[in-house]
Chain A
Amino acid sequence: DIVMTQSPDSLSMSLGERATINCKSSQTILYSSDNKNYLAWYQQKPGQPPNLLIYWASARESGVPDRFSGSGSGTNFTLTISSLQAEDVAVYYCQQYYTSPFSFGQGTKLEIK
């Protein structure tokens, strides 16, 4: 099974700052036949279900603000929020869909300082 490990577990940033969340997979999730990284990012606000932000490691879901971006390849990935807004307070999860079981990272809690 592929294990997804996020860092840090929590993050406290000021409004307008750049926030970076890392996600590492225990094996490559880059499929050589299509050169795609099978990684998604979700945002979960308190009391709400998760919401898809990014898929294929860097493709932004429709309606997601462009301050959210994803990068990385192979086993190392990053979610970046370019300028933190108050409404970005949430827990962020990465998920691999390269192979079943489709595992999630443990989550990164983002707070405003």
Chain B
Amino acid sequence: AQSVTQLGSHVSVSEGALVLLRCNYSSSVPPYLFWYVQYPNQGLQLLLKYTSAATLVKGINGFEAEFKKSETSFHLTKPSAHMSDAAEYFCAVSSSGTYKYIFGTGTRLKVLA
């Protein structure tokens, strides 16, 4: 069975500071990994995805994530937080053969002025 763990349900950073949102996965087969952002009362927007090509994945809005198989991690980072980054972030896993997404419990990012 697949699962995703997001450490830290709430993360606060100062504007301009590094953003680090943690995601660890469990999968018995090669996973596909995704990060989504959700703004209040809105849908899910794809930030980036890992599909077994490059382990360092660059996404939209300056976000990137690195797939580390040895650590079963796919942490999301951004060098400099912006006020507009305040939102809920979800990590998700799927794999070939069972394409449904399993989501983590989400991390709410707060950016302090």
A joins B in a complex: no
